[in-house]
Amino acid sequence: MQFLDQAKVYVRSGDGGNGSVSFRREKYVEFGGPDGGDGGRGGDVILECVANLNTLLDYRYQQHFKAKKGGHGMGQNRSGAKGADVVLKLPPGTQILDAAGETLIADLTKPGDRLVLLRGGNGGFGNARFKSSTNQAPRHANPGQTGEELYIWLRLKLIADAGIIGLPNAGKSTFLAAVSAAKPKIADYPFTTLHPNLGVVRIDGTDFVLADIPGLIEGAHEGAGLGDRFLGHVERTAVLLHLIDGTLDDPAEAYAIIRGEVEAYSAGLQDKPEIVALSKADAVPKDELRKKARALRKKAGAEPLIVSAASGAGVPQVLRALAAEVREMREQDKKDATGEATASPRGWRP
């Protein structure tokens, strides 16, 4: 399945139906009068977050969505039918932005979230609405109101608990494949990963979603390589796993390059908890590995973990470190949801 994380679409709500001008004329009925019905309301444009979707690919082939018009009013006080709504089904983590891509309209993160983006136009009044003691035979009705239209950007930011960042060929996809059932493409050349991959990891009774994004290179924030657009998919994570290829001559320099790109991207990524790990440990002599780990510790300001996805060495330690951060974030989210985070320890007093 192809992956698409942003799309521009045109949406339009339905026009309201026209009111009817009609008079009751029946044989043997002594009194007639106006009986024109109201027009029906136009359909709405609704955005709905649904489970089991992780791409916006459907919106590559269809970019125009229009709700149905409301039915026109008819005689005998019959109102027009409401126009059918148009529902855009979106994966969790989809952001809706204006046509310029700058103003955030909504952020759909949970399956079941619904947003009425555009309301359909109201139906026009029929002539029965205008009957009065001084105007007993009105011969006019209101037209239906026109619907609203809008161009919007759909931008997907995957929902993941932890994300992997690093230079190309740092072993990110290999690590994801080793710890989950995901099957990302793995090869011995740069930029093997062209779109984010997700995998579900379980360690010590804790399940969490791990995201692998395409590698960054120096100047990615200026468009070099694949750019830094895919960093958006780790914005929602609780922790970042920074994998650094242990076979590089200078892992500390590789760490500085990625940190520079993360800080240039901003969006709060630079403040997220970070776990630094030297990968491909099985391919580096132990003495050389210790030397590189010391240099990396000095640069990163934290003790790097040593891991080899191929042999499995150090993998449980990395997963436990990630799981600890994920659990902490979930506990904080629960406190925020119940109001415990802002509650006074002594309780409220007047």
Single-letter residue type at 184: P
| 215-243 CB burial, b ≥16 within 10 A, e <16 | bbbbebbeeebbbbbbbbbbbbbbbbbbb
Asked if residue 347 is part of any domain, the answer here is no
**What is the tens place of the pLDDT at every residue in 78-127?**
999 999 999 999 999 999 999 998 899 999 988 999 999 999 999 999 99
CATH number at residue 277: 3.40.50.300
Tally the domains of the chain.
Answer: 2
pLDDT attached to residue 49: 94
**Average pLDDT score over residue span 56-75:** 94
d(CA 1, CA 190): 22
Q: Which of 279, 186, 180, 269 is nearest to 230 (CA)?
A: 269
Q: Point out which residues pair with 202 in neighbouring strands.
A: 207
Q: Give the helix/strand (H/E) hosting 179.
A: helix 172-179
Domain containing residue 97: 6-156
> In the prediction, which pLDDT does 90 show?
94
Residue type, 110: K
Taking the C-alpha atoms of residue 271 and residue 266, their distance in angstroms, rounded to an integer, is: 9
* Average pLDDT estimate for 162-182: 88
DSSP string, 206-266: EEEEEEE-PPP-TTGGGT-TT-SGGGGGGTT-SEEEEEEETTSS-HHHHHHHHHHHHHHH-
Model pTM score: 0.78
Per-residue pLDDT tens digits for 280-293:
888 888 889 889 98
Last-in-domain residue among 113, 140, 156: 156
User: Does residue 345 form part of some domain?
Assistant: no
Mean pLDDT, rounded, for 1-18: 89
User: In this model, does residue 348 exceed pLDDT 50?
Assistant: no
Q: Are residues 232 and 144 in the same domain?
A: no
In a shared domain, residues 191 and 133: no
Neighbouring CB atoms inside 10 A of 298's CB total 9
344 pLDDT higher than 90:
no
The predicted pLDDT at position 2 comes to: 65
**CA-based radius of gyration for the chain:** 29
Domain boundary among 138, 156, 174: 156
- Output the CA–CA distances (angstroms, integers) from residue 25 to 67, 135, 137, in the order listed: 36, 18, 13
The predicted-structure confidence for 195-236, as pLDDT tens digits, reads as follows: 788 888 999 888 999 988 888 887 776 767 666 778 888 888
Q: Is the pLDDT of residue 350 over 90?
A: no
In this predicted structure, the answer to whether residue 347 has a pLDDT above a threshold of 60 is no
Mean pLDDT value of segment 5-22: 95
Looking at the structure, do residues 184 and 329 belong to the same domain, yes or no? yes
The predicted pLDDT at position 346 comes to 45
- Please report where in the chains the tokens 């444009």 appear, as a residue: 45
Percent of the chain predicted with pLDDT > 70 = 94
Do 183 and 122 reside in the same domain of the chain?
no
Domain end position, chosen among 114, 136, 156: 156
Q: How confident is the model at residue 20 (pLDDT cuts 50, 70, 90)?
A: very high
| pLDDT value for 213 | 84
pLDDT digits over 21-60, tens only? 999 988 887 778 899 999 999 999 999 999 888 889 899 8
**Distance (Å, rounded) from C-alpha 126 to C-alpha 143?**
9
